[in-house]
Amino acid sequence: MRGNDLSISQLRRDVTSQSRQRHAEGGCAGTSENSRGSSTLGLLGTLEVWGVRRRAAIGGPRHQSLLAALAARPGSVVATEQLIDDLWPEKPPASARQQVQNVVAEIRRALRLANVSGSPLISCFPGYLLCFRDDSVDSRRFEAEVAEARRSAGQRAYEDAVRRFRVADALWRGPAFQGIPGRAVRAEAKRLEEVRLDAAEERLDIELALGRHRELIAELSQLTILHPLRERAWGQLMLALYRAGRQAEALSAYARARRILADELGIDPCRELQELAGAILRGEVWTSARQSHCW
């Protein structure tokens, strides 16, 4: 065993030992302290690693792509061959393995210079493991907050649920893994974005039930512009407009949704959205019991 090369069993023993010493709460131990209490890894936007009051200068696109490829597989050892495939998806050079080793060494140096202690980038056969505590990674904090928000909603603590959903969304600085290519990275970015949109729609359902129709119209209008194929968002916009006394605009929103779905997917709106449009046209009261979350 030399340098940072560790067997899986030794790695587990070391991490367990460090966790006990530091009383870490989940994730991998061995991160440093910054002004907020620990080193942090930011994935919800541009890739960022912070040490003690200092951001690590990770390097160019290849360095960021390699770090992102590891971060996209949290808690997993990523084989060197897989990293080579991530970095050179078409035809890797003959020196690919050596280049991966060089990039890893340069990333480690950047982390040390930023006082990110604990060697979070670990060599572990057959590749590498990126090890940060769960509460030090913004994407994991985001999903934990969403889970707590859903728990609060299930307990009918609706204001707390709304607050937690908003705290979760505030962690986003931009698209996940912004500007970084790679199949694994894009797949994880897509998954996180889907969780974000689902959480936003769940919060909006709660706020509509709390009677905040007028306050939500602008947010829902923007949501349907950014994600025009999400029928649930269209239904929420229609309902907010209708309950705010803007019946004609609610029907106009339905017409736009129907046209976009037809043009983009060749389908009609879901049954619940059609029924909502009919209720709005007839001036009927629409209750949450009448929707089954096709939207």
* pLDDT score recorded for residue 75: 87
Q: Is the pLDDT of residue 204 over 60?
A: yes
Residue 6: pLDDT over 60: no
Q: What is the pLDDT of residues 145-184, one digit of tens each?
A: 999 999 999 999 999 999 999 999 999 999 999 999 999 9
Instruction: Look at residue 36 and tell me whether its pLDDT is greater than 60.
Output: no
Bridge partners (DSSP) of residue 128 are 78, 123
CATH class assigned to 212-295: mainly alpha
3-state helix, strand, coil in the chain (%, to 5): 60, 5, 35
Where are the domain boundaries for CATH 1.25.40.10 in the chain?
A: 212-295
Residue 10 pLDDT: 45
CATH of the domain spanning 5-134: 1.10.10.10
Q: Which of 137, 135, 145, 205 is nearest to 170 (CA)?
A: 145
pLDDT on residue 24: 36
Q: Which residues contact 219 (CB under 8 A, 6 or more apart)?
A: 204
> Which residues pair with residue 123 across a beta bridge?
5, 128
Identify whether the C-beta of residue 136 lies closer than 8 Å to the C-beta of residue 165: no
In the chain, CATH 1.10.10.10 sits at: 5-134
pTM metric for this prediction? 0.83
